[in-house]
């Protein structure tokens, strides 16, 4: 099986409309767009560029998402006492299950690294299988017998 070792991308791609769930919008008419840059073979991970115009909205995370802010800014409230404004160059991790309030004053653009999480039991099984595969592939060192130099 052949796989491509690298999949280069650029972030100045044409974005398509990706409307925010209307019940999440709190103020204004934020217009969001995105473009998927890459997806893993198993479909559990993806990278996309996303932007949004001014407005206030909540966001419910059903995936783990790591964000790298490219342009503009967004003030994000995690509903647990932390409110922070993120600008170009900042990085933010939001775990699955988080609900955050976003305030985009004028515009924001980000790269999002998204990962769907597996149930813990599935994750454990995958790690065990991976370890077993690595053990099978690794040749065992030859035993040193009596009279042989180490």
pLDDT per residue as tens digits for the range 15-29: 999 999 999 999 999
Per-residue pLDDT, 133: 83
Per-residue pLDDT, 96: 95
Q: With 60 as the cut, is the pLDDT of residue 1 above it? A: no
Averaged pLDDT, 88-100? 97
Which CATH number characterizes residue 25's domain?
2.60.120.10
In a domain, 43, yes or no: yes
In a domain, 8, yes or no: no
In a domain, 146, yes or no: no
Could you list the residue range(s) of the whole structural domain that residue 116 is in?
Answer: 16-136
Q: Where does the pLDDT of residue 148 fall: very low under 50, low under 70, confident under 90, or very high at 90 and above?
A: low
Among residues of the chain, what percentage have pLDDT more than 90?
A: 68
CA distances from 52 to 48, 102, 145 (A): 13, 11, 68
In a domain, 147, yes or no: no
Per-residue pLDDT, 150: 54
In a domain, 145, yes or no: no
What's the domain count of the chain?
1
Per-residue pLDDT, 108: 98
What is the pairing mode between strands 99-115 and 83-87? unpaired
Q: With 80 as the cut, is the pLDDT of residue 125 above it? A: no
- Using CA of residue 36, residue 37, residue 43, residue 45, what is the dihedral sign? negative
Distance between CA atoms of residues 36 and 46, nearest Å: 7
Q: With 80 as the cut, is the pLDDT of residue 140 above it? A: no
Q: With 60 as the cut, is the pLDDT of residue 110 above it? A: yes
Q: How many of the other CB atoms lie within 10 Å of CB of 30?
A: 21
């Amino acid at each position: 099986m052949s796989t491509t070792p690298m999949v280069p991308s650029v972030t100045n791609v044409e974005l398509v409309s990706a409307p925010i769930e209307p019940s999440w919008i709190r103020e204004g008419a934020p217009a969001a767009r995105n473009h998927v840059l890459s997806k893993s073979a198993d479909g559990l991970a993806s990278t996309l560029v996303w932007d949004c115009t001014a407005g206030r909205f909540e966001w419910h995370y059903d995936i783990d998402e790591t964000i790298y802010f490219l342009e503009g800014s967004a003030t994000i409230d995690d509903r647990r006492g932390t409110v922070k404004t993120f600008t170009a160059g900042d990085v933010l991790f939001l775990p699955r299950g988080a609900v955050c309030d976003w305030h985009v004053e004028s515009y924001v653009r980000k790269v999002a690294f998204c990962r769907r999480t597996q149930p813990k039991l599935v994750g454990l099984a995958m790690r065990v299988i991976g370890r077993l595969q690595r053990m099978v592939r690794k040749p065992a060192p030859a035993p040193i017998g009596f009279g042989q130099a180490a």
